[in-house]
Amino acid sequence: MKRSTALLGTLIVPIMILSLLAGCAKPKTITLAWLPNNSGDNEKVFRQEFDKVIADATGAKVQDKLTTDYNIAIAALDSGDAQLGWFGPFEYMTGHARNSHVVPLVVESGDSGTAQDALYHSRLLVKKGNENLYKSGSGFSIQNIEGKRISFVSTSSTSGFNMPSAAILAFFHNEDKWKSLSKDDLMQGGKDKFFGQVMFSGSHQLSLANLLMGKVDVAAVDDIDVQSYLDLTSGTANQEGSVYTIKKGADAPFDSLAGAQFVVIKSIPVQNTPFEANNAFLDQATIDKITAALLSDKVTNDPLVFAPKDAQGAALFVQPHRFVKVDDSWYDPMREVLGIK
């Protein structure tokens, strides 16, 4: 028995090494995993153009893995079923903590064209007409969200759960009643719970739809995944008190909600989402080619990747932004806020 176990051990190590080396060979096919927010038909043209950029840079066939569940997309990159992914910062940071081979390549810049203002926003929203319930002096407070019905996106979502949860915990931990409140507590609603009801919608679009259809009182929704459906009606973009309206002719799930309005009562800056790779299954030469292509002026000026700000239809990236290179340490400030090691 001992000899068999030893023999098995001596075989496993070389096999693992060979498998890893085989996985790092120049790929003939590259799979890119997308979260549910970016898997819809409304972003199909963007995905096709993005895939073309990668295919032209590497000479490989590029295919998309579209998902209806955050965890499926994340698991695909972890396992190597997909070699590239575009997930939120929380998903990236927890993925890297599990598997150091998951690394960031680039993020979308801010208006400066650098990583210094490479931010988007996690927001807590209420329907227009209900915002006075959350007023505090000349501004807004989340004090009165206690006991309300809330829609989150997914427990894995950075801006649709983890950042707003961190803000809620920080605010209410000063109250004796909630000094032991945890993120796990915010996942469940009901009697003696912080929220009266908790829904997980699966996407930012559906979280907003839940709010506008009256299924919940408050919704956690980022700005980037719903911006193409909205007009800023009053206030400053993503500032507390700003009012947004669903555009006429907006695609599903907002096709029957034109004119519906919401108000931002809490806005939290979030470092931009990384385009990430699993370098155990993608060789460094290929990663370098992909990174160089994404940083190029050709991609920056491609209107199908970086859409003009007044463009119609869904857009994941907008002008005058571009991709900028970052490394894992760029996310350390968010790790501190979220307690990720």
> How confident is the model over 143-184, as pLDDT tens digits?
999 999 999 999 999 999 999 999 999 999 989 999 999 999
Q: Can you give the pLDDT at residue 26?
A: 82
CA atoms of 220 and 204, how far apart (whole Å)? 8
- The CATH classification of domain 2-115+273-338, taken from the options 3.40.190.10, 3.40.50.170, 3.20.20.140, 1.10.287.1080: 3.40.190.10
> How confident is the model over 288-332, as pLDDT tens digits?
999 999 999 999 999 999 998 777 666 689 899 999 999 999 999
Q: What are the residue boundaries of the structural domains of the chain, listed by start?
A: 2-115+273-338, 119-271
> How confident is the model over 12-23, as pLDDT tens digits?
344 334 344 444
- Residue 274 scores a pLDDT above 90: yes
Q: How confident is the model at residue 194 (pLDDT cuts 50, 70, 90)?
A: very high
Q: In this structure, what token pair is assigned to residue 39?
A: 């898997």
User: What is the overall mean pLDDT for the chain?
Assistant: 90
CA atoms of 75 and 54, how far apart (whole Å)? 22
CA atoms of 298 and 296, how far apart (whole Å)? 5
The answer to whether the beta carbons of residues 153 and 125 sit under 8 Å apart is no
Q: Output the CATH code of domain 119-271.
A: 3.40.190.10
> How confident is the model over 196-239, as pLDDT tens digits?
999 999 999 999 999 999 999 999 999 999 998 999 999 999 99
Q: How confident is the model at residue 5 (pLDDT cuts 50, 70, 90)?
A: very low
Omega within 30 of 0 (cis) for the link into 320: yes
pTM confidence score: 0.79
Q: Can you give the pLDDT at residue 19?
A: 40
Q: Cα separations (Å) of 78 from 39, 61, 188, 223, 281? A: 19, 21, 28, 27, 10
- Residue 10 scores a pLDDT above 50: no
Which H, E and C letters describe the chain, residue by residue? CHHHHHHHHHHHHHHHHHHHHHHCCCCCEEEEEECHHHCCHHHHHHHHHHHHHHHHHHCCEEEEECCCCHHHHHHHHHHCCCCEEECCHHHHHHHHHHCCCEEEEEEECCCCCCCCCCEEEEEEEEECCCHHHHEECCEECCHHHCCCEEEECCCCCHHHHHHHHHHHHHHHCCCHHHCCCCCCHHHCECCCCCECEEEECCCHHHHHHHHHCCCCCEEEEECCCCHHHEEEEECCCCCCCCEEEECCCCCCCCCCCCCCEEEEEEEEEEECCEEEEECCCCCHHHHHHHHHHHHCHHHHCCCCCEECCCCCCCCCEECCCCEEECCHHHHHHHHHHHCCC
Q: Do the two domains 2-115+273-338 and 119-271 of this chain adopt the same fold?
A: yes
Residue with token string 């799979």: 31
Tell me what the mean pLDDT of segment 68-95 comes to: 94
